[in-house]
Amino acid sequence: MERLVLSPEKAEAIASLSFAREDQERMRALMARNNQGLLTEPERVEMESFRRVGTLLGILQARARLALDKPRSPG
């Protein structure tokens, strides 16, 4: 498996990524409709897409934080 190598600047940029406020509000609305059992099929697909992107973002941010925590090698 290829190792992800990030500069501190790139790692900081990835670690600071987040969903836009409008997307966060949309996710909350979709979750509320889901909890009420009112989610349509297109909304379910949209909610699943948000979930997948959120999972990927979380993985990338975890790797970025690990890169920031590691001491730099000499040279």
pLDDT band of 32, cuts 50, 70, 90: very high
Burial 27-43 (b: 16+ CB within 10 A, else e): beebeeeeeeeebeeee
6: pLDDT strictly greater than 90: no
- Could you tell me if 68 and 11 are in contact, meaning their C-beta atoms sit under 8 angstroms apart? yes
Euclidean distance between the first and the last CA atom of the chain, given in angstroms as a whole number: 24
pLDDT of residue 75: 44
- CA-wise closest residue to 60 among 19, 4, 1: 4
Query: Would you give the DSSP letter of residue 72?
Result: P
